[in-house]
Structure formats: C-alpha cells, structure tokens
Amino acid sequence: MGEIEFDQELALQELTETHGFFGRLGVFGIGRALAYLPKILTEGEKVQALTRGHIGARLWLLAITDARAILISRGYLLGLKLLDIPLSQIKMIFHSLGLMFGEIVLHCGDCQTRLALTPKRDMPEFMTALASAMAKRAKPKTSPQAERLALLERLGSLLAQGALTPAEFLAQKKKILTGGQ
C-alpha cells in the first residue's frame, strides 16, 4: 500500500482556523509538534480538539481525532516522541483543575498517560470533545432479549434449511428461553 499524500500546509492552516489553536495556546514549545500532526493524520481523519501539557519534563501536544488520541513531543535535541492511543482502548478519563492549569489522565487498561500543566481554559472544550469522540466510537450494547431473539431467528432459519430436526430445534429453543438451564 502506498502512502497517502497530504497538503501539509493546508492541513496546518485548517487546524489553525478550525480550532483557533495559535490564538488560544500559542505555539511556544509545540510549534514543531503541531507542524508534524498533519503528517500522521490518515485520510478523512479529523481533529476534534487540541491542547498541550507536560509528561515529565517534556511539553506535549495532545490531539483528539475521531479515531484516536495522539500525543506528540518534538524537541530539537531529543527528537520526535509519539504516542498513539486508539479511542477504543481508553477505558477511563480523569481530569482536574487548578487555579491556572489542569491535568488529564487517560487510563488504558493497565497503563495510564498523565498530561499535567494543561491550560485551564482549554479543559472544558477539550474534555467535551474527547467524551463525544469516545461515545461515537463506543460499540452499542445489545440487550439480552435482543440477543435471544437473534438466536431464535437463527435457529428458525436452520430449521427451515433442514440443518436441524424439529426435536433439536425445540431443545435449543428451550435452552435459549430458559437461559441455558
């Protein structure tokens, strides 16, 4: 598969206009990470929210797209660091607010990513966008009744095809309706 080519300047301009990123956060310390972001977005992937903060001593850009959370730190001396977390792997989000800064913690099963010193004014919009993106990616849960109905329909089609005898059909139907007891 070949790489998808993007107009990176246009993508960066779109990010700036859509999110008001330069006016809200400025680019001090994250300009290189922000410039790198369009290079790693896939075709059709849209950035929902942006913020910045620290992991340890490094300043990171955190971007939420419709599919993943992307953390980028791109320093002059230490080079590029990239952390890519699919939204489906994020199990819990925690955030807290201080006087001027906040903190975001993304829990992914047995690991967590803690972004500290996040600008407080970004937090409400960012957390709303993150929760919205995660909700859109969540798989709808089916009720036990819907699962039983689907199984009964499948049994009926197997009976109609002749794959089950009437006795087998009745036995399986009874199992489904009584919860396998």
Query: In this predicted structure, what is the pLDDT of residue 8?
Result: 47
Mean pLDDT of 35-59: 83
The pTM of the full predicted model, rounded to 2 decimals, is: 0.62
Any residues with CB less than 8 A from the CB of 73 and at least 6 apart, and which?
Answer: 33, 55, 58, 59, 60, 61, 80, 81, 82
Euclidean distance between the first and the last CA atom of the chain, given in angstroms as a whole number: 51
Render pLDDT for 58-81 as a digit per residue (tens, 0 to 9). Answer: 888 888 888 888 888 876 666 788
Render pLDDT for 129-170 as a digit per residue (tens, 0 to 9). Answer: 888 888 887 666 667 777 888 888 888 888 888 878 888 888
Overall CATH class of domain 8-137? mainly beta
- The whole-angstrom separation of Cα 151 and Cα 173 is 9
CB contact at 8 A, 75 and 29 = no
